[in-house]
Amino acid sequence: MRALLRDAAAGVLAAGLGIAVAELLAAVTRPGAAPLIVVGGAIIDATPTAVKEFAVRELGTYDKPVLLGSVGLVLALFAAAIGVLGRRRRIVVVAGAALLGVAGATAALTRPTATVFTPFPSLLAAVIAGATLWWLLRPAVQPGDRRAFLRGALLVAGAAVLTEAGAQIFTRTAGRARTDLSLPAPTSPAKPLPAGAAPGFTTASADFYRVDTALTVPRVDPDTWTLRVHGMVTTELKLTLDELLRRPLIERDITLNCVSNEVGGPYIGTARWLGVPLAPLLAEAGVRPGADQLVARSVEGMTIGTPLATALDGRDTMLAVAMNGEPLRPEHGFPVRMLTPGLYGYAGACKWVGELELTTFAAFDAYWVERGWARPGTVRTASRIDRPRPFARPAAGPVTVAGVAWAQRRGITKVEVSVDGGPWQAAELRPVPSIDTWVQWLWTWNATPGPHSLSVRATDGTGQVQTDARATPFPSGATGRHTITVTVA
């Protein structure tokens, strides 16, 4: 049994060294080409929508670590098996390494931004893992020779740790360019928040939700970043970040939410965004007749399809460079992301954007539309109870019931609360800076002892009352009324 465990450990250590060397190479050259990243990305692309929605709903921001951990666990089990079988038949070591290399390289070539280099880290990982395992299982190290094996194992483990540390240090050091970016003052600054806005109206950048398919946050050098505007235009444009920042900038308070948000869910936030308005940029490029879709491409290959009309109808669609007074955080799209008020993120908020293509919906389906999501991506009228929390036990008497409601581009005109299915009672609405943000609301409830259910509904600026029909987020956003249960003491 000890011999089997040692051979299994040899396989895991060999695989760990191979992955660490490949990650260092990827960190120095092309971070998205790391073996675990390309395999994880291929898995995400192949995963059915229902499974993706389950992961987002149940795991939240932990979905990516769980996926990467699962890929790593499968790799470790496979490597352990190869270590055990490879002791007697060395051809198993060669075959196992070849299989890992081919799998990683194939996954790498499926990535949208794949180049001839992208498979190389996976192939290198396989070669190093195979050679290392061959060395650890060499005839001079018999199962009973514990000292020789331990010396070899410690050498491999130390090399793997140092190499992985080097990859992490390089990645973190390379990301410091964001702190050196100087942002000009907006030509059109945002108005101060209304005096009646309650604390929490603006979501802190560190607390802002993140939902995307990027397993590793793209590391974009602002000095080499460019934006290409092409397709159905009369003049193709190519801008550096400095050139983009020399254009007039607008600053606006805008609420952004994810289509994956369940009724009452957390994937929504409001920030003060700074960016370049998109309409003048498109006017400069010259939109050709017939174009109706704007496809934004991120540096890691994601495509977001946005109705062209939403960039030209007067709303503050922008190429955002900052949120809440500081350059975009890497996880939120540094150095530039697209932002479209009134649309869910999947239809108008491409992060790490590097390309804008004018085309038609008939000619191209963006990433999420290709997977069955609706094309328009218009935000639905919705509301949420934030206080009291579900299953809370407030004391009898006056209880403040509060939350937020939203219907970007339409605005909220009324929020009502119902207790135990009774009559709807109008809540107080806090003032807002524009129709592109959520509305804070509150209502005082004279609570009586016992269990109670509280429901909320909103009415938007068109007079449409939030529906009580329950629908899942797929394919065009969740519907229904948020209801919580509390027990009054």
Taking a C-beta distance cutoff of 8 angstroms, is the pair 297, 353 a contact? yes
Taking a C-beta distance cutoff of 8 angstroms, is the pair 224, 39 a contact? no
> Whole-model pTM?
0.86
How many other CB atoms are found less than 10 A from the CB of residue 488?
A: 18
SS3 393: coil
The answer to whether position 195 is within a domain reads: no
Averaged pLDDT of the chain? 92
Residues 355 and 390 in one domain: no
Residues 162 and 285 in one domain: no
Pick from 1, 3, 4: nearest CA to 81: 4
Cα separation, 257 vs 242, in Å, equals 29
Residues 24 and 133 in one domain: yes
Cα separation, 41 vs 213, in Å, equals 7
pLDDT at 175 over 70: no
Q: What is the pLDDT of residue 158?
A: 84
Tens of pLDDT, residues 188-200: 999 999 988 888 9
What six digits make up the tokens of 73?
Answer: 């666990």
Question: For residue 446, what are the domain limits?
Answer: 382-488
User: How does residue 449 score in pLDDT terms, banded at 50, 70 and 90?
Assistant: very high
What six digits make up the tokens of 112?
Answer: 């949208």
**Residue carrying the six token digits 């073996």:** 35
pLDDT at 174 over 60: no
The answer to whether position 307 is within a domain reads: yes
Residues 332 and 237 in one domain: yes
User: How does residue 322 score in pLDDT terms, banded at 50, 70 and 90?
Assistant: very high
Pick from 111, 73, 95, 100: nearest CA to 18: 100
Q: How far is CA 258 from the centre of its chain?
A: 10
The answer to whether position 110 is within a domain reads: yes
- What is the dihedral angle through the alpha carbons of 470, 475, 477, 480, rounded to the nearest 10 degrees? 0
Cα separation, 390 vs 65, in Å, equals 28
Q: What is the pLDDT of residue 258?
A: 96
Tens of pLDDT, residues 121-162: 999 999 999 999 988 887 555 555 667 677 777 888 888 788
Beta-strand ranges (E) seen in 232-281 are 237-240, 250-257, 268-277
Taking a C-beta distance cutoff of 8 angstroms, is the pair 128, 21 a contact? yes
- What is the dihedral angle through the alpha carbons of 69, 337, 474, 314, rounded to the nearest 10 degrees? 170
pLDDT at 364 over 60: yes
Cα separation, 321 vs 319, in Å, equals 7
Residues 366 and 386 in one domain: no
Cα separation, 157 vs 12, in Å, equals 10
Residues 121 and 42 in one domain: yes
What six digits make up the tokens of 20?
Answer: 């660490």
User: How does residue 112 score in pLDDT terms, banded at 50, 70 and 90?
Assistant: confident
Percent over 70 (pLDDT), the chain: 96
The answer to whether position 182 is within a domain reads: no
Q: How far is CA 378 from the centre of its chain?
A: 19
Residues 95 and 218 in one domain: no
Cα separation, 228 vs 356, in Å, equals 6
Strands 226-231 and 353-359: parallel
Q: Which residues, other chains included, contact 470 with Cβ-Cβ below 8 Å and sequence gap of 6+?
A: 263, 479, 480
Residues 365 and 386 in one domain: no
**Residue carrying the six token digits 């059915």:** 48
Q: What is the pLDDT of residue 54?
A: 82
Mean of the pLDDT values across residues 269-279? 98
What is the count of structural domains for the chain? Answer: 3
Mean of the pLDDT values across residues 457-471? 97
| DSSP 8-class letter at 382 | E
**β-strand partners of 272:** 253
Q: What is the pLDDT of residue 306?
A: 98
**Residue carrying the six token digits 């959520």:** 438
CATH of the domain at 404: 2.60.40.650
The answer to whether position 453 is within a domain reads: yes
Residues 219 and 313 in one domain: yes
Mean of the pLDDT values across residues 46-53? 83
pLDDT at 171 over 70: no
Which helix or strand (DSSP H or E) is residue 105 part of? Answer: helix 90-109
SS3 417: strand
The answer to whether position 120 is within a domain reads: yes
Residues 76 and 212 in one domain: no
Residues 242 and 308 in one domain: yes
Q: What is the pLDDT of residue 30?
A: 81
Residues 21 and 147 in one domain: yes
Cα separation, 97 vs 95, in Å, equals 6
The answer to whether position 478 is within a domain reads: yes
The full length of the chain comes to 489
pLDDT at 372 over 60: yes
- What Rg value do the Cα atoms of the chain yield, rounded? 27
Question: Of 349, 370, 391, which residue sits at a domain end?
Answer: 370
Question: Of 160, 176, 192, which residue sits at a domain end?
Answer: 176
DSSP per residue, 422-452: ---EEPEEPP-S-TTS-EEEEEEEEE-SEEE
Question: Of 347, 370, 393, which residue sits at a domain end?
Answer: 370
SS3 272: strand
The answer to whether position 375 is within a domain reads: no
Taking a C-beta distance cutoff of 8 angstroms, is the pair 333, 326 a contact? no
CATH of the domain at 265: 3.90.420.10
Q: How many CA atoms lie within 13 A of 29 on its CB side?
A: 15
pLDDT at 249 over 60: yes
pLDDT at 169 over 60: yes
